[in-house]
Chain A
Amino acid sequence: MNKGNYTDAQLISSIKAGGNACDQAIAWIYRKHLDAVLSFIMARNGSREEAKDIFQDAVLSLLMSIQEGKFEGKSSLSTYLHAISKNLWYRRFRRSITADEYKASLNKDEIELGDPEYLMVDQDTEAQLQGLMDSLKDKCKEVLTMWAQKYSMKEIAAALGYSNEQVVRNKKNHCLKELKELVRKNPEVRNLIGELLT
C-alpha cells in the first residue's frame, strides 16, 4: 500500500493500526491534499507559511479524530479534512474574515458536517512537554514517543537498534516508570494534561 490509491476505509484502518502503516497513510494524505488547501488559503491572503501551518494542524486533527474513534464517516475523509482546514483558517484569521465569508467558503458537504472539534496544543504547553521528555535519559524519549504513536515493538526494535521485542518491552516499562516519577515530582505538568484532555 505504498504509493497507490487508498480508499477511505484503507486509510482509516492504516491510521488506526499506527506505526509504519499509519506513516504511509499520513504521507499519502499530505501529498494528495496539500495543494488544494494551500491554494484555498493563499487565495484569501494567507501566506504560504501560514497556510502550511494550518494544513499541518488540520491533518493532525484528522489523525486524532480517526484514532480516537471520533470520525464517524458521515462524510469522505477529503471533505472532513477540507472542512477542518477552512475552520482553522477562519479561527486563526478571525480578525479579517467575517462569519458570512467563512460560511460562503464551505460547500454543501462541508456545511453538513458542522463545526469540527479538535484539540490544539499551544506553544507553551508544547515547550513544557518537550522539556520534560528531553530530561529522560538513555533513548527513553525515543522509545516512549514511538510507543505512544503505536509503533509495534518490532518496529521500535528495528528503528532503534534493539535486538528483540522483549528488550523493547522491558525498556518501555522502565522508561515509563521513570517518566511516571518525573510526573509525580512535577505536579504542574499534571495541570497541563488536565486542561487539555477530557
Chain B
Amino acid sequence: MAEQMFERIEAYLEGVLPENERMQFEKELQTNPELKEEYILQKDTHSLLKLSAQLAVKEKLKRIDQEIESEAKVVSIKKPLWRETWFQIAAVVLLLLGTGYLWMSNSYNKDQLIQQAFAEYQADPFTSRGTEDSPFSQAMQAYNSGNFERASKSLQEILKESPDNIDAIHYLGISLYASGNSKEALPYLERSADSVKHGEAGRWIKILACFDLEEKDRCMHELSLLATEEGHPYQDNAEKLYDRLNSVWGKMFGK
C-alpha cells in the first residue's frame, strides 16, 4: 500500500501522471489526510534534493576554477621582439624598400604584408600567476625572446603531459607559425581558434597561416569575413590586411 502511494506521489511530482489521474489525485489530497501528509513529506524531500543539487553545482564551479588555475601557469613577459618599436620600424622600412624592388613578384609582396600583420599582432595580456621555473614559464621565456623553435619544442613536451592545455596549444600554434612551419601549426591554431580563451587570437593567426597553405582566394574570403565582424578584436587588423593585399593583387592584375 505504502509502495503504491510512494510511486503515485512520485509520478505526480514528476508530472507524468495522465490528466485524469492527476485530477483524481488532486481531489484525493483534499479528502485523504494520510495521502496529503505523505505527499507533503515527499515534496519536501524533493525540495531538499534541489538544494543539495545547488551545492553540487557550486562544487562543480570550484572544480572548473581549479582547472583554469592549473592551465594558466603563466608569467608576466617582457614585450616580445616584434612589439619593439625599432623592429616594427625596421619591418616597415624593409617593406617599403621591398615593395619598390619586388613589385613584380606577387608572392613576396604578400609575404611581406602578412609578416607585417603578424608583427602587429598584439599578444594576449598576462598576469604573473605561477612559479618562474615551471616548464611552461620557461617555454614562454623562449617565446618571448623570439626563440620560436625552442619554444615549440618545450611546448610540445608540455602537451605530452597535458594534451588539453589550451595555453600551450595556442602558443605552440603561434611558435610553429612564426618559425615557418605553417603546416604543422595548423591543427594547433584550429584548436586555439575553437577555444573560448584564445579563440579570437587563434582565428586571426590561423588566417595568416592560411596564406602559406591554401589558395589565395579561400584565404582572402576568410580574411574578409573577419574584417566585417563587428566587435571582433582583430577586425581592424583584418580590414587593413585585406585592403593592402587587395591593392597589391589588384594592381598586379590590372584591376
**A residues bordering B, Cβ < 8 Å?**
3-5, 23, 26-28, 30-32, 34, 52, 56-57, 59-60, 63-64, 121, 125-126, 129-130, 132-133, 144-145, 147-149, 173, 176-177, 179-180, 183-184, 189-190, 192-193, 196-197
Indicate if the CB atoms of B45 and A180 lie closer than 8 Å: yes
Which 7 residue pairs across A and B have the least CB separation, nearest first?
A148-B53, A148-B49, A56-B61, A149-B53, A180-B45, A31-B196, A193-B47
Least Cβ–Cβ distance between B107 and chain A, in angstroms: 33
Selected interface stretch from B62-70, B89-97, B146-154, B177-185: B62-70
Cross-chain pairs A/B with CB under 8 angstroms, 24 sampled: A4-B194, A23-B60, A30-B64, A32-B196, A52-B65, A57-B58, A60-B58, A60-B61, A64-B54, A126-B55, A129-B52, A144-B49, A145-B49, A148-B50, A173-B7, A177-B6, A179-B49, A180-B6, A183-B41, A183-B45, A190-B44, A193-B51, A196-B51, A197-B51
| A183 contact set on B, CB distance < 8 A | 41, 44-45, 48
| B55 contact set on A, CB distance < 8 A | 121, 126, 129-130
In B174-200, the 8 Å CB interface with A consists of: 194-197, 199
19 additional contacts (CB under 8 A) given A30-B61, A31-B197: A26-B61, A34-B65, A34-B68, A52-B65, A60-B57, A130-B55, A145-B49, A147-B49, A148-B52, A149-B53, A149-B56, A173-B6, A173-B7, A177-B6, A180-B45, A183-B44, A184-B41, A189-B48, A197-B47
Least Cβ–Cβ distance between A163 and chain B, in angstroms: 22
| B48 contact set on A, CB distance < 8 A | 129, 132, 179, 183, 189, 192-193
| B196 contact set on A, CB distance < 8 A | 3, 28, 31-32
Least Cβ–Cβ distance between B165 and chain A, in angstroms: 14
- Assess whether B237 is interfacial by the CB under 8 Å rule: no
**B residues bordering A, Cβ < 8 Å?**
6-7, 10, 41-42, 44-45, 47-58, 60-62, 64-65, 68, 194-197, 199
Indicate if the CB atoms of A60 and B54 lie closer than 8 Å: yes
Least Cβ–Cβ distance between A185 and chain B, in angstroms: 11
Complex Cα–Cα for A126 and B51 (A): 9
Indicate if the CB atoms of B64 and A27 lie closer than 8 Å: yes
Complex Cα–Cα for A176 and B50 (A): 13
| A56 contact set on B, CB distance < 8 A | 58, 61-62, 65
- Nearest B residue to A141 via CB reads B52
- Which of B60, B61, B64 has the most chain A CB within a 10 Å cutoff? B61
Complex Cα–Cα for A189 and B42 (A): 13
- On whether A180 and B57 interact (CB within 8 A), knowing A144-B49, A144-B52, the answer reads no
Complex Cα–Cα for A13 and B32 (A): 39
Indicate if the CB atoms of B64 and A31 lie closer than 8 Å: yes
| A133 contact set on B, CB distance < 8 A | 52
- On whether A26 and B52 interact (CB within 8 A), knowing A4-B194, A183-B41, the answer reads no
